[in-house]
Structure 1
Amino acid sequence: MIAITGATGQLGHEVITALLKKHPPESLVAIVRNQSKAQSLAEKGIHVRVADYSDKDALRTALVGVEKLLLISSSEVGQRAAQHRNVIEAAVQTGVGLLAYTSLLHADTSPLQLAQEHRETEQMLADSGLPHVLLRNGWYTENYMASVPAALAHGVIPGCAGEGKIASASRKDYAEAAAQVLSLENQAGKIYELAGDEAWTLSELAQLLSDTSGKQVAYQNMCEADYAALLEGAGLPGPFAAILADSDTGASKGGLFDDTHQISTLTGHPTTSLLTSLKNAL
């Protein structure tokens, strides 16, 4: 059996969709926090088990009989390391044969603050002795598509990434790569640096949005502090705004770039282009 944590989340949903193309539903376990949100999965014949990353007992129960586990990293920044430790310990105690973890692109050398908890989790996995594979995910293209309406309204894409190249991919791309890894044998010990085939700057994103929408949009590069203040002024909580601004600065240092095309090598087809994503967003 293959289990997926965070199965009703956006990435988890895409992973299950991809796995269903390769595996019967009764071989899949959806680990969720809210059972009512997993009704559609249960109707497909997927086993639904309720467990929170912070509930050690529930995690152990949820992992009984599981051979492979996809640990989708927690969304609770600052609590991730402790939550991931609970999952790893439960996996060891229940005899999971392989744990695949969604880490961050080049987590070991990444300049992004977000990388710290991923590095801690990778070290926990190494120390645990549990067979594991690292799926180091780059940025989701959807992160940028969410800002398209505001960019069109104001004619500006703000940021502090300079001319840093961003090799983003869609959630579906990352999910298909994860499903492929979970379907292959002999994956323990492997590290996949997962990113899109195409890399672009925020200036290029602004130009492509202009060309595609017919409305002029420019990229406005700012210092990190000003960009964080802008995000906070737009309604984002201060700590989250600071993380996003730091990530942009990290992109300016190459933290979101990779050109090894490991997603498309795994899936056998190119990753979703930025143009396709923009057209879908528009």
Structure 2
Amino acid sequence: MNRATKPFAKRHLWVAAMMAVVPAWAVAQTELKGSPEELRNFLHPTENIVTLTAEAEEVAYSDQAIVSLVVKTEDDELAVAIEKNSQLRSQIHTALLDAAIENKHINNSKFSSSPQYGWFGKQPDSYEVVNRVAITLSQEEQLKTVASLVDKFPEVSLASTEFSHTKKDDSLAKVKEQALSKIMMQKMLYEDSLNVTLVPVNFRDQRVHYAATRGAIALEEAVVSSVMSKAATREADGYAGSAPAATSFDETKYTANIAVDFKVQPKQ
């Protein structure tokens, strides 16, 4: 090889070497590393999902009450005590019907009797018969009638009052509707502001429930304290019987917390 061709040969070798290096460098720059799940997400991106949530509440008052009365009669003879109890319950039943309380809303429980012994006697001095009458009320005037019966007959006492809300399902559906309405308002706002379209793909409404309000709980605690105090007084006076049940909650708060998943798409 002469001197004239040596520089050309060197340049040719240098260019060939650079061409061999460049592809390797380019391949090294585009190499992907990661777990199979990460590579899958890179090659096939998942859809953009956003979640909108909203909560709604509504307070409802009880529209029905179940009042339990205890009718207690006593006599030296058991048969007479039973008859007195039956006659008194018949009078109560008539008064309730006159107050526009339907017969199906008046329920008598099975009576119980217990012998009453003296201090040293082995034979009972008298017999006590106890019967419970449960009355379902829907109007305040009906409750006044029941109260007047308790005041009129010393043998009749108020055992318990349980309140209930008969439109529970309607209230639960209402708070659901309100929460969903709030979510749809959010959806419209984001679509208009961000120029996108939100398509619902999933929703969750597990947190739909109802519970007593704080005011109702406070009332319950006050009634429980009063009942326990009266029960203790009767027991101290020699009253043998179970303590009346406490009044149940009369105010209920319904709550719905709903979440909806939306797929984000460009607005067409």
TM-score strictly above 0.5:
no
Structure of higher CA gyration radius: 2
Larger strand proportion, structure 1 or 2?
A: 2
TM bracket, shorter-chain basis: under 0.3
Report the TM-score when normalising by structure 1.
0.24
Where relative contact order (Cα < 8 A, 6+ residues apart) is larger, the structure is: 2
